[in-house]
Amino acid sequence: MLTAFAHPMQRRFDFALRTPRAAAPAGWVKRDEVAMGTAIHVELWADDARAGEAAVQAVFDEMHRIDRAWSPHKAGSELSRINREAGRRAVPLSEEGFRLIERALAFAELTEGAFDISYAAVGRLYDYREGRAPDASALAAARALVGWRGLELDRRAKTLRFAREGMCIDLGGFAKGHAVDNAAALLVRRGVRHAHVSAGGDSRVIGDRRGRPWGLAIRDPRGGEAEHVAVLPLVDTAISTSGDYERCFVTPEGERVHHLIDPASGRSAARARSVTVLGADGLSCEALSKALFVRGPAEGLALLARVPGLDAVIVDADGRLHLSEGLQDVSR
């Protein structure tokens, strides 16, 4: 029964509070935005559009949180604090930071240094917008500061110290993969059963696209954005593509200089044009797409064969396509 009030507006307000809000129509909810220095795309099926919009907003909130914590360009980020202080003392890590750096060191060991977050001492010398690469002397000095074994992680105290002052790290090699993993977990907790989240070349699909697989295209590294070497039908999969066309410039001598740095040489890796890795989690896919790009097809696929549950598509330096064993079986 409604409570009687002297003012008619009070009565209407009381009635409104007791009326359940009607569900918004079901359908696909999509949004594109820039975060973490790259294009973010979220697409999901929602039984209630308002709940879908809230889930999408939660994904972008998480992307921005990761960017605030792990951007090398934000002075207040945990990454910037590590780089400022770890050359002089052991720096306490957040739980997330400890897990990320522990994973980074495991990938460095697995790939024999092809994945190495300490490459940043060299990587920061390149300016792809201005088309500038370091000269030989600057490169030699920076290379002396690269080496994952100089990252002294104390697993009991959860601290990180650099063996040499001047060392620095960058988690750009798998931060986007970590972000799409977090986004997917967040959506699943909200009951989302069909979704696609992408951050640059890193994607994660939840379920299928309501009765058919998600189709994710692998770009032709020497073609336009609409030209593809393959389109992969995916269900419940993470995928990461690293290509030499993403951040690059070409020197007057015709050399392609790009952001996929070989930690051993400090120069752009030259054995591949693009590498796509598929698996269960985006962080592993992104880290290994970088490592396989550095190693090239033969060494890269031999490395991948030691890691269960992963597959790869590699376009080599001459434009030839190489598939891991699992994908060869599917393509027959």
pLDDT at 226: 81
Taking only the tens place, the pLDDT of each residue in 204-219 is 999 999 999 999 999 9
From the number of C-beta atoms within 10 Å of its C-beta (0-12, 13-18, 19+), residue 263 rates as buried
Q: Is 10 a residue whose pLDDT tops 90?
A: no
Residue 329's pLDDT is: 63
Sheet containing 151-154: order of strands = 91-92, 159-162, 151-154
Assess whether 88 and 203 both reside in one domain: no
CATH code for the domain of 123: 1.10.3980.10
Give the global pTM: 0.90
Domain endpoint, select from 147, 169, 191:
169
- Give the number of domains in the chain: 2
Mean pLDDT of the chain: 92
99-157 pLDDT, tens per residue?
A: 999 999 999 999 999 999 999 999 999 999 999 999 999 999 999 999 999 999 999 99
* 319 within some domain: yes
pLDDT digits (tens, 9 = 90+) for 35-54: 999 999 999 999 999 999 99
Same-domain status, 210 and 253 = yes
Cβ neighbours, 10 Å, residue 34: 9
**CA-based Rg of the chain, rounded to a whole angstrom?**
23
**Token pair in block for residue 228:** 């593809």
